Amino acid sequence: MLPPSAFRSYLMAGLLLSLLALPRAQGANSLKLYMKDGSYQIVSSYEVQGDRVRYFSTERSEWEEVPVSMVDLEATRRGQEEVKATEKREIQEAKEVDKERFYKPPNTGLEVVSGIRLPGDEGVFTVDRGRLVRLAVSAGESVTDKKRAAMVLAVPLPVVKARSLVVLEGAKAAIRLNDPRPVFYVQSASGLGSRLELVRMKPGKETRVLEEIETGKGKNAKSTEERSMIAVERKQIAPNVYSLTPLQTLEGGEYALGEVGADDKLSSDVWDFGYEKWEVVK
């Protein structure tokens, strides 16, 4: 029999995939009926009847008709195929994330929690809901702050600094944790755990801002990096293994562990995750 913690983890894993599949099944009844002028109607179904296309509008909840000459049937069929392909890919990605989240290591590494050991390979791990979770690496991308760039061009003197943002793609990380003070275990022969720092990211519509970089004008201009750091307690608990624990309770949001060098530069490759508070149902 599974222990309660393991049972809950399996239950949450199944619930994640079920919730992902549910809106897809409902969304399968809605599709875009494209018109030749580039517009489209959101419909639940449509049929071609002679020189007319009859469809049920989800917006107005009634049947409507338009001349078939106005409808781009090829674009409509192509859109349906693309939606199905996207749904299939997202479900597969969710399954992969589920496997990653509940990673089961070989029973050979350091025991970090009773009954839970690190694997033999390097990486950044944490224990969440009784399971070992391996954090995935995400690559940050530098983008220009267009508004600040316009100001720099408008002002001839070195008054306004140019600003760029280092962002991660997506509004949320794939890995979601539930512990407000997670303990991270960094296993690396290079001593990576002695250089990782915890950064809280700023939310965006489709990205997460890891840090802001400001650079002055001129050939001797220096750049400064601004990021929101969370202090951690750092311990070497075994050869090549460090533990990192936030010194404060995390607030809900997006975070990343990144390597900070001697020059205070943050590596663009980080281990990202999100913290969400789960309500316990009694």
Dump pLDDT digits (tens) for 43-58: 888 999 999 999 998 8
Q: How many CA atoms lie within 13 A of 109 on its CB side?
A: 24
The confidence score (pLDDT) of residue 160 equals 47
Helical segments of 182-239, H only: none
Residue 139's closest CA among 228, 274, 273, 272?
272
Query: Measured between alpha carbons, how far is 82 from 205 in angstroms, rounded to an integer?
Result: 23
H/E stretch holding 165 reads strand 162-169
Sign of CA dihedral 50, 56, 57, 61: positive
The confidence score (pLDDT) of residue 3 equals 44
Strand order from edge to edge, sheet including 241-246 = 131-134, 123-128, 184-187, 241-246, 232-238
Return the C-alpha torsion angle 259, 278, 252, 14, nearest 10: 50
Query: Measured between alpha carbons, how far is 258 from 135 in angstroms, rounded to an integer?
Result: 12
Taking a C-beta distance cutoff of 8 angstroms, is the pair 11, 19 a contact? Answer: no
Residue 102's closest CA among 153, 159, 177?
177
The confidence score (pLDDT) of residue 276 equals 82
The confidence score (pLDDT) of residue 145 equals 55
The confidence score (pLDDT) of residue 246 equals 97
The confidence score (pLDDT) of residue 227 equals 87
Query: Measured between alpha carbons, how far is 144 from 34 in angstroms, rounded to an integer?
Result: 35
Vertex 133 angle, CA 129 and 138, to 5°: 135
Residue 100's closest CA among 272, 238, 282?
272
- What 3-state class would DSSP assign to 106? coil
The confidence score (pLDDT) of residue 29 equals 62
* Beta carbons within 10 angstroms of residue 141's beta carbon: 13
- Taking 70 as the pLDDT cut, the residues of the chain under it are 1-29, 97-108, 144-163, 215-224, 278-282
Task: Report how far apart, in Å, the C-alpha atoms of 52 and of each of 46, 57, 236, 276 are.
Answer: 10, 15, 73, 50
